[in-house]
Structure 1
């Protein structure tokens, strides 16, 4: 997919971080490896459909090409870390936080917390579908 606006925006963000410091955290549907293919799609009632079938009634979306964004950030001398949402959240202490929240909770609440953890970080849910890109100045990379 060709996305000139994506390139322009990522260049602006990378220039700002490289010149003024700060960091960027990007989380969305996408892929970590470069690939060829069309991810542009229409979703209506949680189902894919032809992008021209129901104008104004379906959500139009495309997966983020995190590999291309990472390449642009690295070209500005930035440190880039790519992962799945599951890896990111687990690394940020999701299980520990869930344990704390559920420690004194009733069975129903503990199950709801467990279900939420699985939905957010599980390999069959958002944990693999969503990707995360952290962008930092090279000197601050951790």
Structure 2
């Protein structure tokens, strides 16, 4: 941020909530998952936006007819949790997280004896959840874990558990737009 050009926009976000969560996990144990769309690293720029009818809109026009939102700064969340003694795991992209947890293998099990309609629905859902092309949420959404210091890893957020790493490959492949098959 120190190298941001004059006139750049920087959104300051309070870390109060993540620090409260971090303290509670540090003191009482457990873990929390934070899943949303946003950026892996803090940066200058405007993330405040309005969405109306599935398109970007002017946030100051038609108030009440648009959803107002801002991207999550996952680096700030991770640093806030770490500042109070909790452990931050990630963030990782949602597609990576779900694949590490075995979503493709689970989907293959669901569709193994399903109708064509169910197979198409499950395949479309997987493509939406882990895909990175148009309409895919796999790289847009991020996952951050926050835990008690004794939990040195969380499934899907670091080293893959042996059971997942050694599982047979799924017969469901997510094709990205622009990729060659």
Report the TM-score, using the length of structure 1 for normalisation. Answer: 0.94
- Counterpart selection for 1:94 from 75, 82, 103: 103
- Counterpart in 2 of 1:22? 30
Gaps of at least 5 residues in structure 2 are 1-10, 154-181
1:46-67 deviation line (CA, Å, top 9, x unaligned): 1111110111111000000001
- Counterpart in 1 of 2:113? 104
- Counterpart in 2 of 1:130? 141
1:50-105 deviation line (CA, Å, top 9, x unaligned): 11011111100000000100011111222212101101111111011101100101
Alignment of 1:31-110 (within 5 A): 31-81=39-89, 82-110=91-119
Query: Larger Cα Rg: Structure 1 or Structure 2?
Result: 2
Q: Which moved more, 1:64-73 or 1:78-87?
A: 78-87
**SS in structure 2 at match of 1:128:** coil
Please state if 1:2 is matched with 2:18. Answer: no
Whole-Å separation in 2 of the counterparts to 1:137 and 1:75: 13
Superposition misfits of 4+ residues, deviation over 4 angstroms: none
Gaps of at least 5 residues in structure 1 are none
Q: Which has the higher strand share?
A: 1
Tell me how large the CA RMSD over aligned residues is: 1.0
Whole-Å separation in 2 of the counterparts to 1:94 and 1:112: 14
- Counterpart in 2 of 1:117? 126
The count of aligned residue pairs is 140
Q: Which has the higher helix share?
A: 1
**Retained in 1: the 8 A contact 2:22–2:147?**
no
Q: What's the CA shift for 1:33?
A: 1.5
